[in-house]
Amino acid sequence: MKEKIRETVEREGKRQFCSFHIADHLFGVDILDVKEIKDDISLTIVHHAPKEVRGFVNIRGHVYLVLDLRLLLDFECGEVDEMSRVVLFKQSVGESFGILVDRIGDMVEVDEGRIEDYRPDESGSSAEISRRKADLTMGICKLEEELLIILNAEKFLNAF
pLDDT tens digits for range 51-71: 999 999 999 999 999 999 999
Number of domains in the chain: 1
Each residue's pLDDT tens digit, 78-137: 999 999 999 999 999 999 999 999 999 999 999 999 999 986 655 554 444 577 788 899
- Residue 129: give the domain boundaries: 2-158
Whole-prediction pTM: 0.86
**19 DSSP β-pair partners:** 28
CATH number of the domain bearing residue 109? 2.40.50.180
